[in-house]
Chains A and B, each alone.
Chain A
Amino acid sequence: MKIDIILAGVGGQGILSIASTIGVAAVKKGLYLKQAEVHGMSQRGGDVQSHFRLADYEIASDLIPMGKADLIIAVEPMESLRYLPWLAKDGWVITNDQPFINIPNYPDEAALKAELDKLPNKVVINADQIAKDLGSARSANMVILGAAAPFLKMEYAEIEDAVRTIFARKGDAVVNTNLACLKAGYDFAQKNQ
C-alpha cells in the first residue's frame, strides 16, 4: 500500500496542518512517511507545496515522481492546478474553491472554474464558508482534510483520532469544532465526487 499526496497552497495558508494531521494517523498505523516541505523565501506569500508520502514499505525518494501522485490536496484553487504534472492519470484533486488573490494577473473566475471542471476526478468545495458556518473560519483546512478523507486509504475514525490528538491541548471546544469541520468536508465529498 502507498499513497502519495501533493499538498498545495500559498505561503502562510498553513497547508502543513493538514500534513501533520495525516502524519499522526499514519504514524499510529505504523506506516512509513516522508514529507518534503518548503521553508524560506517562498513562504512570503508565494506558492508552496509539500510532497507527502505514506507506504507500508520503506520510502526511497523525498520527492514524488511526476505522474505518480494519488492526490492533490489544495487550499487554493489555482494552486491545485499548478501540480497537475505530478498527478497520476487516475488521481484525484481535492481543492478549496476560494481564491487567494495576491498577484495582479490572477485568472478570472470563469476561466479558473472551466479548468477545474475539466478535471476528471475532483472534489471542489467552499471550505471557507463551511468552516465559517460551523463557527471557526480558521478551520477551513480541516474541512478540506475531511473532503480528502475518503481517498486516504484509512478508516475515517483514524483521521478523527488524529484530529483529537493534534488539538487536544487546546481543549474540548476546539477539538469538537475541528471534528465538525472534518465531518462536514467528509460528507460533502461523499455526496459530490
Chain B
Amino acid sequence: MAKILLLGDEAIAQGALDAGLSGVYAYPGTPSTEITEYIQNSKQAAEGHIHSIWAGNEKTAMESAIGMSYAGKRALVCMKHVGLNVAADPFMNSSITGANGGLVVLVADDPSMHSSQDEQDSRYYAKFALIPTMEPSNQQEAYDMAYDAFELSEKFHTPVLLRVTTRLAHSRAGVERRAARPQNELNVCSNPKQFVLLPANARVHYRALLAKQADFETEAENSKYNFYKEGTDKKMGIIASGIGYNYLMENFVGTTCPYPVLKISQYPVPTKLVAKMVDECESVLVVEEGYPLIEDQLRGLLNRTGNIKGRMDGTLPRDGELNPNLVAKALGMPDSYGTPVPEIVAPRPPALCNGCPHIDTYLALNEAMKEHGPGKVFADIGCYTLGALPPYKAIYTTVDMGASITMAKGAADAGMSPCVAVIGDSTFTHSGMTSLLDAIYENTPITVLILDNSTTGMTGGQDSHALGRIGNICKGLGVAEEHIRIITPLAKNHDANVQVIKEELAYNGVSVIVPTRECIQTLSRRMKAQAKK
C-alpha cells in the first residue's frame, strides 16, 4: 500500500479505524484534538457508522468508552494530559473492571506547555492504574500502536494507555496502512460481576489485575517496539523512550551509534532488557520525553551506583521538551548553532482576534470593576485566558476547567467582595455547572460571566454542548430569572453592558451575565461556506 502523509494524531485515528473501531469519545484539547476531527471527517468512519460526536468532558468521554467496551465493541477515548485528571475516576476504575471490547485511552501530553497549564506525564497514570502503556516514537508507530493497542487490550481484557507528546501529535510523515479489520459484533459482557465494583467484587478483580502484571511485562520484553541494539563502546549505554529515540538517532545520521541502545516504547518497563544494559555498561543515559519515569526507577531513592544519567542529575534539563541539540550535549557531542536572534525581534504572543466578542466583554468588565480595584476576577481555560495579558489585564486566576466559579465562591466565603467569575460556554458545560450549583445552594454572592461564543474556540471551533442552552441551564440549576442577564458584547452596547455588570455586582447573591456573540473565526468560516453555496 502507498504511504499517506499523516499527522501523528491522524495516524492514531487511522490506526484505530483500521483496527475496527466502533466509537471515539473525546473533549477537544491541544494536542489531541485532531484525532477525533480526523475520524469525524473520515469517509471510512461515516460508512462504518462510527460514533465520533464530541463528549461534554473527559470524564463523560471515558465513561462512554467503558460502556462501549462493556457492549463488546472497540472504543477509543482521547484527551490532553490534564483531561486525564478530569477522567481519572473512571480511568483508574476501568483498570479494575478491565475491558470487554478493546479499550484504548489516548492521552496527548504537552511537555514545554505549548498550550497547557502543566507538563504532567501520563505514563505515571498508567503505572498508577497498573495497565500497559504504548508510546510511539514516530508516525508509523503511532498508526501501528493504535492498531495493536486494541489487540493487547482484548488479549488481556485491560484498558491500554497510548501516550503521545505534542511534537509527534502535530508532525506529519508518511504512514503505511494495514488491511482494515471489521468492527466487533455486539457482545455484551457476560460476567455479571465484572463491571460491578462492589468491594467484594473489586477485591477479586484487583487481585486478578495484580496477577496480570507479569504478563504485561512479558509483553513489553517481547514487544517489537522495544529492542536492544548492541554497541561497541560500553562506557555508556543509552535508554531512549518514545520520541526521545528520534532525537538520539538524529545525532548519528550517516554513522552508527557506538553505544548500546535500548529503545523503550511499551511499558511496564521491561526489566530484563534494562538489567542487561545496566550490567554491561559503565553508565546509562536515559533519554525520555516528559518526566524521568524510567530514570527514577533505575536510580532509586538512594542512587547507590551514581551512574544513571538523565534529567535528574542535570545531564538533560529537568523540565521542558527535548530536542536533538539537548541530546547532543548529553552525549558529549559538539553542539550546533546558527546565529543569535537579533535584539530587535520582539515577542509575538498569541492574542484575541480582531473583532473577538471577548474584547468587548473585557472592556466593559474592566470599566465596571474599576471602582473595586484589581484581583477580583477569577477566570478559566479558553481563548479568554488571554485576557490576563495586556492590554486587558482583566483576570487574575486560571487553574483548571470550571475553577473560575468555585474559586470565586471560595474567595466570597473568605469575605472578599465583589467576586467575579469569567468562564466560556463550552468550559461551563464541561465543568462549571456543578460549581455554579455549589454557589446557588448557599446563595453565595458571586457574579458569573459566561462568555457564550457558541463554540469551543481555543481548540479551533468544535461544537459546544452549551449551544443555545446556557440560559435554561442556569435557570434550571436555580439562578433567579431576573439575575440571568443576556447581553451582546459590541462596542455600541458598551455603556449599557457596563451598567448591567454594575447592577449584578451590587446584587447580594448568585447572578449570571451571558455576553452572547458568535466567535469571529467560526462566523467567518460559516459565512464563507454560505457564500460558496
Contacts and interface: CB of A to CB of B under 8 A. Distances in A.
Q: Do A and B come from one complex?
A: yes
Contacts of A65: 250, 323-325, 328, 336
User: Which of B167, B174, B328, B339 has the most chain A CB atoms inside 10 A of its CB?
Assistant: B339
Quick one: which of B172, B249, B250 has the most chain A CB within 10 A? B172
A81 B337 contact: no
Interface in A161-176: none
Given A44-B351, A61-B324, A115-B344, A36 B170 contact: yes
Interface in A83-107: 84-89, 91, 102-103, 105-107
Chain A CB within 10 Å, residue with most, of B323, B345, B383: B345
Contact of B352 (A10, A40, A44, A118): A44
B338 A41 contact: no
A84 B338 contact: yes
Which among B167, B341, B342, B383 has the highest number of chain A CB atoms within 10 Å?
A: B342
Interface residues of A, number: 53
B340 interface: yes
Nearest to B3: A27
B372 interface: no
Given A103-B346, A111-B344, A36 B337 contact: no
A44 B171 contact: no
Contact of A34 (B171, B342, B348, B458): B171
Contacts of B174: 27, 32-33
Nearest to A111: B344
Given A36-B171, A42-B114, A85 B345 contact: no
A14 to B, nearest CB: 14
A153 to B, nearest CB: 17
Contact of B115 (A41, A61, A102, A111): A41
A111 B85 CA distance: 48
Contacts of B338: 66-67, 69, 84-89, 91
A39 B31 contact: yes
Contacts of A103: 346-349, 351
B91 interface: no
A27 B175 CA distance: 12
A63 B324 contact: yes
Interface string A60-86: 111111111100000000110110111
B286 to A, nearest CB: 18
A29 to B, nearest CB: 12
A112 to B, nearest CB: 7
Contacts of B5: 23, 27, 33
Interface string A16-55: 0000000100010000111111111111111100010000
B486 interface: no
A105 B30 CA distance: 29
Contacts of B353: 44-45
A35 B175 CA distance: 13
Interface string B334-376: 0111111110111111111100000000000000000000000
Contacts of B180: none
A46 B30 contact: no
A35 B172 contact: yes
Contact of A85 (B34, B173, B339, B459): B339
B414 interface: no
Contacts of B216: none
B253 interface: yes
A66 B325 CA distance: 7
B342 A40 contact: no
A18 to B, nearest CB: 14
Contacts of A87: 338-339
A62 B174 CA distance: 12
B148 to A, nearest CB: 21
Q: Max chain A CB contacts within 10 Å: which of B336, B340, B347, B460?
A: B336
A89 B349 CA distance: 28
B322 to A, nearest CB: 9
Contact of B345 (A43, A107, A118): A107
Contacts of B7: 37
A165 to B, nearest CB: 13
B271 interface: no
A150 interface: no
Interface in A105-140: 105-107, 111-112, 115, 118
A78 B458 contact: no
A1 to B, nearest CB: 12
B386 A40 contact: no
Contact of A102 (B323, B351, B459): B351
B346 A62 contact: no
Interface string B1-27: 001010100000000000000000000
Contacts of B383: 44
B70 interface: no
Contacts of A88: 338
B346 A78 contact: yes
Contacts of B171: 34-37, 51, 62
Nearest to A80: B345
Contacts of A64: 324
Contact of B250 (A37, A61, A69): A61
Contacts of A112: 344
A38 B169 CA distance: 10
B44 interface: no
- Name the residue in A61, A63, A68 with the highest tally of chain B Cβ atoms < 10 Å from its Cβ: A61
A33 B172 CA distance: 8
The CB with the most chain B CB atoms within 10 A, among A40, A88, A103, is that of A40
B222 interface: no
A46 B351 contact: yes
Contacts of A39: 30-31, 33-34, 170, 460
B243 interface: yes
Nearest to B339: A84
B325 A115 contact: no
Contacts of B346: 78, 103, 105-107
14 contacts: A33-B174, A39-B170, A42-B350, A44-B386, A60-B248, A66-B335, A67-B338, A78-B348, A85-B341, A87-B338, A87-B339, A102-B351, A103-B348, A107-B345
Given A40-B459, A47-B347, A62-B173, 13 more contacts: A39-B34, A40-B115, A41-B115, A44-B458, A60-B253, A62-B243, A65-B324, A65-B336, A66-B335, A67-B336, A102-B351, A107-B345, A112-B344
- Report the 3 A-B pairs with minimum CB-CB distance, sorted nearest first: A67-B336, A40-B30, A46-B350
